[in-house]
Amino acid sequence: MSKKLKIGLFGFGCVGQGLYHVLKNSTGFKADIVKIAVKDKAKLRTVEPSLITYNKWEILENPEIDVVVELIDDADEAFQIVSEALRRRKHVVTANKKMLAEHLEELYHLQYEYNVSLLYEAAACGSIPIIRSLEEYFDNEELKKVSGIFNGTTNYILTKTLTENLTYQEALCQAKDKGFAESNPVNDVEGFDPKFKAIIIALHAFGLIIKPSGVLNIGITTLQEIDIKYANEKGYKIKLTPHIHHITRDKVSVFVVPSFIKSQNHLFNVDNEFNGVIVEGKFSGEQFFQGKGAGSYPTGAAVLSDISALSHGYKYEFKKYTQNQILSFSNDVILEVYFRYNSPNDLQYLHFEEITEKYSSDSYYYVIGKIHLEHLIGYREYILTNNLFISLINERVEISNDEKLKKSFKKEFQIF
């Protein structure tokens, strides 16, 4: 029989209120929220005043509370709360993807040291149970890739700009009004949010702990009407897509860039605030998951799923991480991209390995070509500062010439 849990909740914003609602209306699972810690004393709350506290220690030092649910915006404060809760042998559920991505290694060791569980399904792709699927279904299968749409805010904006001809700013305002975007949407629109999620997923899919600073993220802030026009003419949709690719026997690449998506791709019809995840296994082939990636109730439901799992003693086993002996992170890959720029001088900065198409006009230029991922990382700020736009045009990722030579050499001499 499952244990009825006592919960200490940090944060009562969009997701916190969603959790409160789905918990109160759940017919299959019961738990008690003992205290809710918030910061703003002037803000009116929709719960009984006795539940509210402004002192985090009322939760962390309460022996009655056995589960801490962390749903605040501040990643640094979230880490302090989560790490302290684990040290006090309280189980933790969190949706803070930035905090997790920046502290995965410390948190991994803390939960084992204090024999408690840290669950974070809601931090990955909203209502899609991707972490649990990787942990339970794909735990012993070698994966080729995990990719998709991991951010409901940008997907909503891109859907509205492409299908309803809204401007970027109009679509962003709509996303804010519907609760899909924060008042400061930088993490979403610049691609940090899906990068953090990709880093979390890479741990469970490939057994890697990757530092966020090494992963490229280019968002949609420089998207212009001419880029949308190009996509429409070619029959593409534009999506912001994280890619986690097993590129060689011992290398995995991770990056986040906009992509031109073809109609035969599973992601083509994933619109508005929905997320989609493609998992390709060596033996099972391609699997596709779709669900809401933003919003109070869907994310609250994902948090509740973790709380319910805790009542049955569930923990992540991290099998891929404990078994990994050879895989490491690498940016040594070639991408085929569309690059829209303002003047011929811009093209001189980005050294393409190969250009297959080139267009010029009085107002703008673009090329289709192949470029090294490391080079994009080096010129990321130049691209953003000068309002240039880059989009993946082919989802296949090639290893660089150096890696091809190494692979060929090893094969010839049977090193592995």
Cβ atoms of 18 and 296 within 8 Å: the answer is yes
Beta-bridged to residue 91, according to DSSP, are 67
Q: What pairing do the DSSP bridges indicate for beta strands 274-281 and 52-53?
A: unpaired
What pLDDT does residue 26 have?
83
Query: What CATH superfamily is the domain 6-120?
Result: NAD(P)-binding Rossmann-like Domain (3.40.50.720)
| Residuewise pLDDT in 10s, the chain (416 residues) | 456 899 999 999 889 999 999 998 887 788 899 999 999 988 888 899 999 999 999 999 999 999 999 999 999 999 999 999 999 999 999 999 999 999 999 999 999 999 999 999 999 998 899 999 999 999 999 999 999 999 999 999 999 999 888 988 899 999 888 878 777 899 999 999 999 999 999 999 999 999 999 999 999 999 999 999 999 999 999 999 999 999 999 999 999 999 999 999 999 999 999 999 999 999 999 999 999 988 888 889 999 999 999 999 999 999 999 998 899 999 999 999 999 999 999 998 888 999 999 999 988 999 999 999 999 999 999 999 999 999 999 877 888 765 443 443 233 323 22
Give me the amino acid identity at 208: L
How far is it, in rounded angstroms, from Cα 143 to Cα 135? 12
Q: What is the DSSP string of 247-267?
A: EETTEEEEEEEEEEE-TTSGG
Ranges for all domains in the chain classified under CATH 3.40.50.720: 6-120
Strands 365-372 and 333-341: antiparallel
pLDDT at 325: 85
Q: What is the pLDDT of residue 296?
A: 85
Catalytic residue set: 197
Question: What are the residues whose beta carbons fall under 8 Å from the beta carbon of 35, sequence distance 6 or more?
Answer: 8, 9, 51, 52, 53, 58, 59, 62, 65
Report the amino acid identity of residue 147: S
- CA neighbours closer than 13 Å in the CB half-sphere of residue 326: 8
Predicted local confidence at residue 398, as pLDDT? 83
Residue type, 113: E
Which residues of the chain does CATH 3.30.360.10 include?
A: 131-297+325-403
The CA distance from 399 to 185, in Å, is 33
Q: Within its chain, how far is the Cα of 141 from the centroid?
A: 22
Given its phi and psi angles, is residue 225 left (phi above 0), alpha (psi -120 to 50 degrees) or beta?
A: alpha
What is 131-297+325-403's CATH topology? Dihydrodipicolinate Reductase; domain 2 (3.30.360)
Q: What is the pLDDT of residue 2?
A: 59
Contact 154, 243 (CB under 8 A): no
Backbone angles phi, psi at 254, to 5 degrees: -135, 130
Question: Which pLDDT score is estimated for 414?
Answer: 31
